[in-house]
Structure 1
Amino acid sequence: MKINNIKPGKIEQYYNQLKQNQKKTVEGSKNDQIKISSQAKGILTAKAELKNRPQIRIEKVEELKAKLEKDNYQIDSKKIAAKMLKNIK
């Protein structure tokens, strides 16, 4: 069976559902197979690795904290405005 047009966030859900359905197959349909593409397996692997990574980049926080303490933190208002406008489009 080939699965197309599945959003990456849903692959794990579909994969688990297919595994459960495979277990429930009757003996007359032992020829059914499930094939997960290498791309889908890669997405599952990447998703698992992302869960193990910290959400906060400590080195970046420390760098910003040091700049704030030294009154050396410069805000580029043009960059902020550009990003705000980019998010509106």
Structure 2
Amino acid sequence: MKWFVAVEWTLLIMVFLRVLSGLIELTVAGLILRFNSIEKAIVLNGLLAVIGPTIFILSIVIGLVGITDKLSVPKFMFIGTGAVCILIGARL
């Protein structure tokens, strides 16, 4: 049985970004509880509104860079358009 599985660096970076994002979310949740203030909770949620999409875009860009040799330019544009649509839809 094969126990060692090779994982691409691109995938590891994407996983790290998702784990980091989750840890940031949990940390902010703890800070909101600790501060026990609606005003501070709004500020912290505002910070998360910037961090979340940034990690999302970074993760997609890293993934696309990792598969540059496998996709054509129109497919890249289609994926990029889809990511932008997700961000626009989440904001409206």
Give the TM-score normalised by structure 2: 0.31
Give the TM-score normalised by structure 1: 0.32
- Larger RCO (CA under 8 A, 6+ residues apart): 2
Q: Judging by fraction of residues, say which structure has more helix.
A: 2
Q: Name the larger-Rg structure.
A: 1
